Amino acid sequence: MENFYRQQRIKFNLLMEADKPVGGEWNYDHENRNPVPKDYQPHELKPFKFDQIDQEVADEVSKVKSWGKSENKYWATTRKQALQRLSEFLEFNFENFGAYEDAMPINSWSVNHSVISPYLNNGLLHPMEVVEAAITRYEAGGISLSSCEGFIRQIIGWREYVNGMYWYLGEEFKKENQLSANRKLLPLFDDPTKTKMKCVSTIISDIEERAWTHHIPRLMVLSNLANLTGVNPIEFLDWMRRVFIDATDWVMVPNVIGMGLHADGGKMMTKPYVSGGAYISKMGQFCKGCEYDPKVRVGENACPFTNLYWNYLDQHQERFKKNHRMFQQINGLKRLNNIDEVKLQAANYLDLLSTGQI
């Protein structure tokens, strides 16, 4: 993806000085991984007002028994509103987008994200007009290069890479299941009251409310949990397509099958994106007040993410020990003196998760 992204920058002459990247570096991802400070409060997006058509559609949809809430007013239904959302982002949230791009504060559903992915996918906004507006705002001053670069990388880099991979890998890609994951979809995905894990219940409740959460909760909480528990890829893919407002086939198939679940065995990404509770604790604010401790892997208060992470590495170590990007994690198994206890508790956790009890 990195090589593709650089080619995109050169091709469209974006953030370039002759043939060199502005600032001397192509990628400032290392500056985009900060948790938010305590009591940090980003600008909160204001809901739109329903017009007559919006209200009629919401009323009609509300007659159908379905997951989610039709009265949500945060989403644009016209190009004018989509442009308004873009302008709001550039004015209030762009400055701190980069620094806290991966953060998961508990008091903000959108953090500093633009929340324009539905409009890019349905045509209300064109990717290049968004990129050009962002660069114009950056050049006006007051916006860090890491924020601007990180934002356009998501659009001309990752978004276009995912689109290309979808068409390149073909229709059969969605059927990949190289980790032999065959567990039924966990009850908690459809009902957040079916889990005591604060991070999971909070995020799924947010999705039920607004049909959206940003990429890190999707990847490092939801997909991570599905991967660690061995949920069948097709079942999880169907759920993701069902609950997100920006879900289109070309977006979801590569992101879920290739990146989220590593079900393709590495055709798209070079390693599985899995973690224990430590990452969620570092980047999020969910662990305080949760029944489970992210630092504990065995015991009554062992975090399911932490316990299942080590169980997952043990289960797939023969496959992953050949992957140089997984060497450190697999090598970490050697330091565990209680792997049998980990595996025993993991089996119990998997049973309880499958019946909606933890």
pLDDT per position as a tens digit, 276-332? 999 999 999 999 999 999 999 999 999 999 999 999 999 999 999 999 999 999 999
Classify residue 37 as exposed, middle or buried by CB count within 10 Å of its CB (0-12, 13-18, 19+): exposed
Does residue 70 have a pLDDT over 90? no
Interval 122-146: pLDDT, tens: 999 999 999 999 999 999 999 999 9
Nearest to 249 by CA among 165, 315, 355: 165
Could you give phi then psi for residue 355, rounded to 5 degrees? -115, 10
Residue 71, pLDDT score: 82
pLDDT of residue 69: 86
pLDDT tens digits, 139-181: 999 999 999 999 999 999 999 999 999 999 999 999 999 999 9
- DSSP readout, 127-151? HHHHHHHHHHHHHTSSS-HHHHHHH
pLDDT at 72: 87
What DSSP string describes 188-215?
Answer: GGT-GGG---HHHHHHHHHHHHHS---H
Q: What is the dihedral of CA 157, 119, 143, 98, to 10 degrees?
A: -60
- Copy the structure tokens of residue 352: 């309880």
CB atoms within 10 A of CB 118: 20
State yes or no: pLDDT of 65 exceeds 90: no
Structural domains of the chain in order of their starting residue, each with its CATH number: 1-51+63-169 (1.25.40.80), 179-355 (1.10.579.10)
Two structure tokens written together for 236: 């999880």
Distance, in Å, from the CA atom of 70 to the CA atom of 122, rounded to the nearest integer, reads 19
Cα angle 340, 346, 350 (rounded to 5 degrees) comes to 155
Supply the pLDDT for residue 248.
95
Give 191-222 pLDDT, tens digit per residue: 999 999 999 999 999 999 999 999 999 999 99
Instruction: Please give the residue that has the higher pLDDT: either 202 or 66.
Output: 202
